Each structure stands twice: as structure tokens, then as C-alpha cells.
Structure 1
Amino acid sequence: MRIVYVSLILLLTTLLGACSLFEKEPETSVFYSPHADDETLSLGPSILRQIDKGNEVAVVLLSHGEASQSIKKVNEKLKDKDLPAISKEEFGNSRVKEFKKSLEELGVKPENVYIYDLPDGDIQKEDVMKIMKEMDKRYPDARHHALSYNDPHRDHAASGAALKELADDGTISSALFYLPVQEFENMDYDDTYPVPDSLKDNYKKSLAAYRIWKPEEGLYSIGYTSVKPYFMEAGRYGESRWHK
């Protein structure tokens, strides 16, 4: 009889271990993008994976990105075309337009897009935690996705550190952390989410949203002007890399 009990315990232990491996993925995901373009360059393939599965997706932009030095290149191009220079505020608003266009191409519902204006280059973990708590109330039991707390970019790392603290203390129950595409060969990761085959065209269009030059509509190809090599890498890899 004792052998039977031991066998049952071993069987239950095995089954419980298997269940933990195949734990049901949350049907809602919230993604945090420190700057316009992070949502497609590093998070885009994972966003598309959730959409392909029929899950609810919300995306949060943490800053308008007004500190980017690419405003100089944009204004030089405008000058060459005898067009007026744009201010930092106009530059930031244009980045938000690119962000929204990118998410439209990915298939994220407009009502699930949230825009904040934390100071670009000085995003604080505590401020991001407040936003994440707001999103947790809006989307209970969701999985939250942020860039890695090991990211060398301080704004990226702040978003990851905020999520890690909330996951560690149990405020948020499910969290994943993503490598920025420019660090794919320099950072460790657990797994990847490739772009679903049926949505590869969506991903191309999302990346292309940052190449649009239409000054009359307030679009100045800012993302592509700023980090063209990252867009090339994102198109080549076609995946998100993450760790826990």
C-alpha cells in the first residue's frame, strides 16, 4: 500500500509540474513603449503574436521623445526644402503621430492606445510604476510587457525596473521583459516571439510608418531619420526577444 501512495504522490508531482509548464497565457496584454518606435522595433512581433491569438492588446507610450537629437536633421531637411523649422513641441507631437500610425498598422485598437508625457531622457521608475498600476486596474489579470531592466538605455531600463518591482511584490501577476533590437547580440534572453506568417505585411507597414515624409500632415520621417540601422535590423530579425 505504501508503494501505491508513493507512486500517486510522484504522479501528482509530475502532473503539477507539467501544468506549470503549460500555464494558460493571459488573454490581455499591456505593452509599455518608452519612446515612439520601441513599440514596433522591439515589441512589435510580440504585439502581433497576441493579436494573432485573438487576445486584447493595449499599448502605452511613456514619453513624447522631445529630447531626440534627430530634430536637427529634420530641420536641416526642412530648410533644404525651403520649409519652416519645427519646434520641440511640434517634433514631439509628430513622434506621437508616427507611434499611432505604427500601432494602426499593427492592428491595435485606438481605444487601447495610451499617451503619456514623462520627461524624455529622465524617465523615473516611480512615475512608470504609477502608470502601470493604473493599467493594472484598467486591465486586471493582464500580462505586462516592458523593455528589459538590463537595457543600457536609462529610460528603457526604468520601465523594466518598474515592472520588475511590481511583479516581485505581487502587484502584477505576469510580466515579460524585452531586449531592444539594437542589443540582440549583446544581451541574454529566454525565448523569442517571431512575427506570425499571416501578419508579416502588417509588421512591414508598421516599420514603414516611421519613414513617412509629409510635412503638410506633420509627419517628418523622424523614427527612420533617428535610428535607421535599428529599423533595418528589426526587419531582418522579425522577432521579439524576451526574458523573465
Structure 2
Amino acid sequence: MRAIYLTFILLLSVFLGGCTLFEKEPDTSVFYAPHADDETLSLGPSILRQIDKGNEIAVVLLSHGEASQSIKKINENLREKNMPPISKEEFGNSRVKEFKKSVGELGVKSENVFVHDLPDGEINENDVMKIMEEMNERFPEARHHALTYNDPHKDHAASGSALKKLVEEGIIQSALYYLPVQEFENLDFDDTYPVPDELTEEYRKSLGAYRVWKPDEGFYRIGYTSVESYFVEAWKYRESRWHR
């Protein structure tokens, strides 16, 4: 009996002390994808979890991804089909189209999709912080989701470190940091969000948005051409791995 009483007192003191043990999960979430495909490969299962709960979702693309070397392979494919090559700008615009199709398949409302054009390969932490502050004003009390600051990819890490700073400064109150699918076996995490069973088809279609080849409509299968193995891994795991 004494043990039960002491446990009750401990839990009560933790609650009154403001510990997040009893914190209600925010019903609005903002997700940040440094590049097109990050939103489905690494964040997609978590996005679907929020949609399944009926929560409001916003997804932010930070760059057009024009620095990707896969443009060379895309243009090779076009030449083989006797079609003209595309420019870096057209390539970046096509990546944005893939991104928008992908988040649409996940079920994100078009009015909650935001696209920026930070320099791919040189995403600056301060620039990301400005975007996050704007989103925090637009969606007050939301939880913010970014790739981890431990990510070996510097653009990914910049998004995570920007969010971490805003949390430390007290500007953003709630945040989670995600492992990129290609680092699942290399980085530590706290927990996972699997794809809800009833939304498995939505996840499959979201991944599939990056394998569409319709040059006349501006789709060049960029995602799968660039990192096909990541898509294979994402479908195998079908979960987001995160830490606080």
C-alpha cells in the first residue's frame, strides 16, 4: 500500500511540475522536407498517422532539388527516346511536381502544401529557421517535424538543427526529429510510427508518384532514377523512425 501511495505522489509531482509525460499530442503538425521525396521516404508514415487521427497537416518543401546529379540520367533517357534534354530549372520544377503529387496521394490538402527554393546542397540553417518561424505563426501550437540534426546529409541536418535551435529558444514548443530511411540501421531513435494498415495503399501511391514517366506532362521518374534503393527500403519498413 505504501508503494502505491508513493508512486501516486511521484506521478502527481511530475504532472504538476510540467513534465511532458501527460502532454496531449498537438492536433496540428508541420513537416519539413529538404528535398522532394523526403516527405514520403522518411516522413510519410508519420504524416499518414496524423491523417489517420484526423489531425491537420502541413508539408513544407525547402528546395527544388536542382543540384541532383540524376539530371544526367534523365537526359540520357530522353535522348534515347529522341526527345530534347531538360534544363536544371525544368528538372527542379519536375521534382516539385513529383512532390505535390506525392503529398496529394498521402492526403495532404493542397492549401497546406508550401514550396520554397532554398539552394540545394547549401541549405542554410538561418534560412530554414525563418521559414519555420513563419509556419509557427501560421500554425500556432503545432508540432514540427524535421529530419534529424544527426543526418550525414548536410541539407537534412540543417533542417533538424534549425528546429532544435527554435525549440531551445522557446519559439517552438513541440518537435520530433526523423531518421532518413537510408540511415535506419546507422542512427539511434526513440520510437517509430508505422503506416496505419488502412492507409497502406495511400503510402504505395505516394511512393509511386516518383516513378511516373510522362515527359509530355513534366514527369520524368526522377525520384526512382535518383535513389531507387531508398524507395525499396521505404516500402520494406513502412515506418517513420524518430527521436526527441
Fold shared, TM-score > 0.5 on shorter chain: yes
Runs (4+) of structure 1 exceeding 4 A deviation are: 7-10
Q: Matches of 1:20 and 1:86 in 2, distance apart? A: 50
Name the % identity: 72
Match of 1:194 in 2: 194
Q: CA deviation at 1:16?
A: 4.7
* Structure 2 gap ranges (5+): none
Match of 2:70 in 1: 70
- Matched residues, number: 239
Q: CA deviation at 1:13?
A: 3.0
TM-score for both structures, normalised by structure 2: 0.95
Q: Which amino acid aligns with 2:214?
A: K
Q: Secondary structure at the match of 1:165?
A: helix
The Cα RMSD (Å) is: 1.5
Q: CA deviation at 1:20?
A: 3.6
Q: CA deviation at 1:23?
A: 1.7
Match of 1:240 in 2: 240
Residue 11 of structure 1 pairs with residue 16 of structure 2: no
Q: Which amino acid aligns with 1:50?
A: Q
Q: Matches of 2:11 and 2:126 in 1, distance apart? A: 41
Q: Secondary structure at the match of 1:140?
A: coil
Deviations, residues 87-111 of structure 1 (Å, cap 9, x unaligned): 0000000000000000010000000
Match of 1:131 in 2: 131
Q: Which moved more, 1:225-234 or 1:17-26?
A: 17-26
Q: Which moved more, 1:19-28 or 1:135-144?
A: 19-28
Q: CA deviation at 1:17?
A: 3.6
Match of 1:23 in 2: 23
Q: Secondary structure at the match of 1:226?
A: helix
Q: Matches of 2:129 and 2:117 in 1, distance apart? A: 14
Q: Secondary structure at the match of 1:207?
A: helix
**1:1-244 alignment, distance < 5 Å:** 11-17=8-14, 20-244=20-244
Q: Which amino acid aligns with 1:11?
A: F
Q: Matches of 2:66 and 2:231 in 1, distance apart? A: 20
Deviations, residues 33-86 of structure 1 (Å, cap 9, x unaligned): 000000000000000000000000000000000000000000000000000000
Q: Secondary structure at the match of 2:8?
A: helix
Q: Secondary structure at the match of 1:152?
A: coil
Deviations, residues 129-169 of structure 1 (Å, cap 9, x unaligned): 00000000000000000000000000000000000000111
Q: Which amino acid aligns with 2:12?
A: L
TM-score for both structures, normalised by structure 1: 0.95
Q: Matches of 2:7 and 2:218 in 1, distance apart? A: 64
Distance 1:161 1:20, change over 3 A: closer
Q: Secondary structure at the match of 2:76?
A: helix
Q: Matches of 2:155 and 2:11 in 1, distance apart? A: 42
Q: Secondary structure at the match of 2:193?
A: strand
